[in-house]
Amino acid sequence: MPRESKRAKRERGVEVCRRMGELYPDVESALSFDGPFTLVICVLLSAQTTDVAVNKVTPELFRRWPTPQAMAAAEVLEVEDVIHSLGFYHTKARHCVECAQAIIASFGGEVPGTMEELVTLPGVGRKTANIVLNKAFGVVDGIAVDTHVYRIASRLRLVDAPTPAQAEPQLLDVLPRELWGPVNEQWIHFGRETCTSQRPKCDACALVDLCPSAFKANGKPNARPRRRSS
């Protein structure tokens, strides 16, 4: 493939976002939350597990500890008992309690509303902070680049970074700021339904003409429809 100019890449990125908007015009978060605090905890718990799995444990979690004040006083072992079905539940339980304690100690019991403040909370990195800012405060300060967003951006060759964290600034440089807001949710759905990790459905993909990796996911030939012999 010939080297693509930055302008051409940006134009292709804008068209990707336009088509994603047509595919998922009203997409909402799959996580169940009712405010900034429960959202922080939900996103913290969702690392390396599914939203479905998180939604199974959070009703009991938030029944017992619905506020930062309640969670800050929880015993980590008790939180572990509630979320033990999730991966890395030992660390996540500790982060839930420590995060609540930090919200009390540093922010008067209110979840902070800036990137700089959110990333000081235990267990909260830039990806989590981006989601909380977007969903809880209506602030778009970046793009939450999870495994789905990273996979799609890499296959589209909008980024060439070795990690999701390093991919975010590249993606922000390619996409106009006014398009950042819905990227995470739309691309997550697209990654689950079409651009899957192992067997992407390139033959049914709305972006196939924009994708340099079409039918070559992970560098290998993939799922090109076969012609039937007559």
pLDDT digits (tens, 9 = 90+) for 56-78: 999 999 999 999 999 999 999 99
- The pLDDT tens digits for 175-189 are 999 999 999 999 999
146 catalytic, yes or no? yes
At residue 114 the predicted structure's pLDDT band, cuts being 50, 70 and 90, is: very high
pLDDT of residue 1: 55
Does the pLDDT at position 217 exceed 60? no
pLDDT of residue 150: 97
Is 152 a member of any domain?
Answer: yes
Do residue 98 and residue 160 come from a single domain? Answer: no
Do residue 101 and residue 170 come from a single domain? Answer: no
CA distance 56 to 124: 21
Do residue 104 and residue 126 come from a single domain? Answer: yes
Write down the catalytic residue from 127, 135, 173, 201. Answer: 127
Taking the model in full, what pTM does it have? Answer: 0.86
How large a percentage of the chain has pLDDT more than 70? 93
More confident residue, 53 or 30: 53
127 catalytic, yes or no? yes
Do residue 105 and residue 156 come from a single domain? Answer: no
Do residue 41 and residue 126 come from a single domain? Answer: yes
pLDDT of residue 80: 98
Write down the catalytic residue from 9, 92, 135, 146. Answer: 146
Do residue 132 and residue 108 come from a single domain? Answer: yes
Residue 47's domain comprises 36-137
Residues 6 or more apart whose CB falls under 8 angstroms from that of 18 comprise none
Tally of domains in the chain: 2
Residues 6 or more apart whose CB falls under 8 angstroms from that of 219 comprise none
- The pLDDT tens digits for 165-214 are 999 999 999 999 999 999 999 999 999 999 999 999 999 999 999 999 99
At residue 27 the predicted structure's pLDDT band, cuts being 50, 70 and 90, is: confident
Do residue 185 and residue 121 come from a single domain? Answer: no
pLDDT of residue 112: 98
pLDDT of residue 225: 41
Do residue 129 and residue 190 come from a single domain? Answer: no
Say how many residues make up the chain: 230
